[in-house]
């Protein structure tokens, strides 16, 4: 039974290579299972859960380390109050654009939508940023 | 190693800029001047170090895997997937036929 599923998924993928829409036309040749092929018209896309989790994890690592770095920069420069938060927003947008330029041509291959890189984890690094910001500010400007 | 060099240089530059900013602060405090801004070259060095470190971390941590499960199945043939050697039997009549 599992081999039948593998064959069916591979046949659909080789017929419709780069479709995101869920309606994939499966015009397979010499189908020995005609009943399954009629149901096949609204087949959902299969994602590998390990890969999705791995991508989100590495994105989160990038975000945390960039928020640490921007906290250090804000502390050294000596930003205060609202300018610090504006700098945090700027550094998060900067990171999003960097990642987007790195996976420019194949972002659909790695993420289901662009929301993941731009919007979803935006405030995750805020507290880390404030921690390093106050720490470096105290180190450089106060002591 | 070549990927990490940019990150190491950026971190060193950031540490150096921080140390020189602290020294500048001490100097201003000693000469009893009014502290307004850090000198421009320290700010420029900090920002360039930040840029270098960002690019270094994205190169280091930004490795992604393709999420469509068919992406790794494209190159496999049926012979590779359907090979189940533990189901192969050799105890059949070929023993008597071909000897």
Question: Per 3-state DSSP, what percentage of chain B is helix, strand, and coil (rounded to 5)?
Answer: 65, 0, 35
User: What distance in Å separates the CA atoms of residue A116 and residue A1, rounded to the nearest whole number?
Assistant: 35
The pLDDT tens digits for B9-51 are 999 999 999 999 999 888 888 887 776 677 888 999 999 999 9
Give residue A40's pLDDT.
55
Across the interface, whether the CB atoms of B18 and A48 are under 8 A apart is answered no
Would residue A22 count as lying in a domain?
A: no
All residues at 6 or more sequence positions from B22 whose CB lies less than 8 Å from its CB, including other chains: A139, A140, A141, A143
Domain with A128 in it: 62-142
Token duo for residue A138 = 């105290």
pTM comes to: 0.70
Domain count, chain A: 1
Would residue A115 count as lying in a domain?
A: yes
- Average pLDDT score over chain B: 85
Averages of pLDDT over each 10 residues, chain A, 143 residues: 44 42 38 46 77 89 93 89 91 90 80 81 90 91 80
Give residue B65's pLDDT.
82
Would residue A2 count as lying in a domain?
A: no
Give residue B47's pLDDT.
92
Would you state the torsion angle of the CA atoms of residues A20, A124, A63, A94, taken in this order, to the nearest 10 degrees? Answer: 80
State how far Cα B16 lies from the chain centre: 24
What is the complex's ipTM, to 2 decimals? 0.73
Check pLDDT > 80 for residue B79.
yes
B53 CB neighbours in chain A (<8 A) are 69
Query: In sequence order, what DSSP letters do the residues of A29-79 get, joined into one string?
Result: SS-S-HHHHHHGGGPPPPB-HHHHHHHHHHHHHHHHHHHHHHHHHHHHHT-
Query: By a Cβ cutoff of 8 Å, what residues of chain B touch chain A?
Result: 14, 17-18, 21-22, 25, 38, 42-43, 46-47, 49-50, 53-55, 57-59, 61-74, 78, 81-82
Would residue A37 count as lying in a domain?
A: no
């Amino acid at each position: 039974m599992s081999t039948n599923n593998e064959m069916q998924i591979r046949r659909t993928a080789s017929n419709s290579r780069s479709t995101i829409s869920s309606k994939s036309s499966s015009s397979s040749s010499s189908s020995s299972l005609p009943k399954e092929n009629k149901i096949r018209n609204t087949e959902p896309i299969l994602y590998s859960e390990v890969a999705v989790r791995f991508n989100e994890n590495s994105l989160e690592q990038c975000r945390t380390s960039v928020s640490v770095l921007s906290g250090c920069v804000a502390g050294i420069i000596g930003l205060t109050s609202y300018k610090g938060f504006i700098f945090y927003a700027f550094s998060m947008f900067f990171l999003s654009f960097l990642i987007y330029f790195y996976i420019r041509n194949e972002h659909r291959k790695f993420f289901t939508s662009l929301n993941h890189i731009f919007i979803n984890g935006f405030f995750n690094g805020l507290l880390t940023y404030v921690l390093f910001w106050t720490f470096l500010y105290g180190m450089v400007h106060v002591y | 190693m070549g990927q990490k060099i940019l990150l190491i240089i950026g971190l060193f530059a950031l540490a150096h800029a921080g140390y020189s900013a602290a020294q500048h602060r001490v100097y201003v405090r000693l000469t009893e001047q009014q502290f307004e801004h850090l000198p421009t070259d320290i700010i420029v060095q900090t920002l360039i170090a930040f840029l270098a470190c960002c690019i270094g971390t994205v190169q280091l941590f930004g490795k992604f895997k393709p999420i469509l499960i068919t992406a790794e199945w494209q190159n496999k043939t049926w012979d590779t997937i359907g090979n189940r050697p533990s189901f192969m039997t050799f105890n059949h009549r070929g023993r008597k036929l071909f000897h």
